[in-house]
Amino acid sequence: MSRIKEEVLSANAQYASNFGDKGSLPMPPGRHFAVLTCMDARLDPAKFAGLSEGDAHVIRNASGDAIRSLVISYKLLGTKEWFIIHHTDCGMETFTNDVMIGLLDSSLETSTVDENGWHDHGNGPGSHEGRYINWLTISNQAQSVLEDVIRVRQHPLVPAGIPIYGYIYDCKTGKLIEVPEAAAAGAAVLE
Ligand SMILES: [Zn+2]
């Protein structure tokens, strides 16, 4: 077995041995909110936002759009507030669509990055399929939080009464910093 697989399974055995009554938690999140954030390994929403099992939905990806998950979170599972959280030093700031397309054209193997940008060293062939995906890269975090909040706020499947909060998580301090323009754009419209 791979070492990582072994470590994961042993951590899980430990976790399950203290599982207690968590097996009877209901499916809808008990604290009625959802967090949409990046997949960056340094972010631990359970810790930085104080979540326990059953508390909240956490939707994570590489900063992309997550309308489907958010709508399910509200429509079927009753969340009432949503947080969109980007973070400092995000990997999505380090490349553009064109860079990603070029790297994938060259090979499918893992590329490296240095002060001159990304470089591909893999043995090809790569694939041209990369050009049919919008990689949703980021050039300005505050602007990107604002754009995501506006995109979610204006989506026809998102109810006007749900507040959407926009934050940047600071990887150096662990603090959540509100993006004021996003807070304004995400405010609930009360009927
Ligand atoms: Zn990120």
- Ligand 1 centre to CA of 18 (Å) is 32
DSSP 128: G
Return the number of other C-beta atoms located less than 10 Å from residue 66's C-beta.
Answer: 20
Give mean pLDDT, residues 92-102: 93
132, with CB counted inside 10 A (0-12, 13-18, 19+), is exposed
Q: Are 166 and 84 in contact (CB under 8 A)?
A: yes
Q: Are 74 and 133 in contact (CB under 8 A)?
A: no
Global confidence as pTM: 0.86
153, with CB counted inside 10 A (0-12, 13-18, 19+), is buried
Position 37, amino acid = T
- Ligand 1 centre to CA of 44 (Å) is 12
Q: Which two tokens stand for residue 75?
A: 């429509």
What are the backbone angles phi and psi of residue 175, rounded to the nearest 5°? -90, 150
Q: 99-142 pLDDT, tens per residue?
A: 999 999 999 999 999 999 999 999 989 999 999 998 888 889 99
Beta-sheet strand order (sheet of 33-38): 56-61, 33-38, 81-87, 164-169, 176-178
Return the number of other C-beta atoms located less than 10 Å from residue 54's C-beta.
Answer: 14
Q: Is 147 helix (H, G, I), strand (E, B) or coil?
A: helix
pLDDT band at 71 (very low <50, low <70, confident <90, very high): very high
Q: How many residues does the chain have?
A: 191
- Ligand 1 centre to CA of 91 (Å) is 5
Q: Which two tokens stand for residue 118?
A: 């990304």
- Ligand 1 centre to CA of 90 (Å) is 4
Query: What whole-number distance in Å separates Cα of residue 22 and Cα of residue 181?
Result: 39
Q: 128-180 pLDDT, tens per residue?
A: 999 999 888 888 999 999 999 999 999 999 999 999 999 999 999 999 999 99
Q: Give the pLDDT score at 65.
A: 62
- Ligand 1 centre to CA of 22 (Å) is 30
